[in-house]
Amino acid sequence: MVTFRPLLALGLATLAVPTGVFGVGTSTLVGGDGVTESVTAHVSNHALQQVDTIELGAEAMVLEHDDSEVVTLPMRDARGTVAVLNRLLGTPARSRTHVGEGGACFPAGTTYTWGGGLRVAAMNTPSTLGNAVEIRVLRDDVRGRTGTRIALTGPDGVQVGDDIAEQVADAPPADRESFGSGDDDGPSAWQLLLAPGWDGTTADDEPSTRDEPGDGHSDEPSGDDAATTGRNGLSALTDDDSRVIVLGTPMPVNATRDC
């Protein structure tokens, strides 16, 4: 059972419920940073037909065939990302939202859902962190346009349905958050940071990287900012049995800001 509080952690992409099925063309997509055709122009239909896995990272999705990269879809490019997924997975369910329709912090945008397994929310205006989409993985696979099943994974192959109790137990407190009832002996759903990202670089910067330990530098937020923004990136949300029910990014852990 998952209570109301962890549902809030699902964020933008789960608040918008698809209301219909529409054709999607690049001229109708919203969001992005002006790189509208950079992805679609360089991946062929034949290459997309070979894709057997979609791996979600903190700041991009990688389409793979036999563990080899076919194309990377950066989350700073909403139009290119949705256009390629449309070619790969077929016509999505789509819903539009205006500012505040999904709650006080809900921005305007369009949400696309393929087969109930992959949900991409494209924002009319990219966030201050630079991402133009938010992504949620809700199943362990999704049907492709040709009818084949395409695996949906996160870092190190983690999938919806996996038991990650050991990873939760081993994670530092800053990278995990409990949604239990407050009873130390009771069951608890968890949010676990799997891959850090979206640490405050601008849309003109390269995807965020962190310095190696011991070099005297850190890209981590500090002070009051760290206390309110938490640790951002790709997270897994579990049920009370520590089984993954959602993979999502951006999805900060231990964030206390209202928006």
169-216 pLDDT per residue, tens: 999 999 999 987 555 666 789 999 999 999 753 333 443 333 333 444
Q: Domain for residue 256, yes or no?
A: no
Q: Domain for residue 254, yes or no?
A: no
Interacting residues of 40 by C-beta distance below 8 A, sequence separation 6+? 26, 80, 83, 84, 87
- Which is higher by pLDDT, 128 or 6? 128
- What is the C-alpha separation between 53 and 149, in angstroms, rounded? 9
Q: Domain for residue 160, yes or no?
A: no
Examine the pLDDT at 24 and tell me if it is beyond 90: no
Query: What's the predicted TM-score (pTM) here?
Result: 0.77
- For position 199, what pLDDT does the model report? 78
User: Do both 20 and 141 map to the same domain?
Assistant: yes
Distances (CA, A) of 168 to 153, 237, 241: 18, 11, 12
Examine the pLDDT at 149 and tell me if it is beyond 90: yes
68 lies in which domain range? Answer: 4-155
- What is the C-alpha separation between 232 and 253, in angstroms, rounded? 6
- For position 97, what pLDDT does the model report? 74
Question: Which range, of 43-47, 54-58, 88-92, 214-218, averages the lowest pLDDT?
Answer: 214-218
Q: Domain for residue 258, yes or no?
A: no
Single residue among 120, 155, 190 that ends a domain in this structure: 155
Distances (CA, A) of 237 to 195, 245, 254: 13, 6, 13
Mean pLDDT for the stretch of residues 52-68 = 97
User: Do both 75 and 117 map to the same domain?
Assistant: yes
Examine the pLDDT at 28 and tell me if it is beyond 60: no
Mean pLDDT for the stretch of residues 125-146 = 94
- For position 134, what pLDDT does the model report? 93
User: Do both 150 and 171 map to the same domain?
Assistant: no
Mean pLDDT for the stretch of residues 212-226 = 43
Examine the pLDDT at 235 and tell me if it is beyond 60: yes
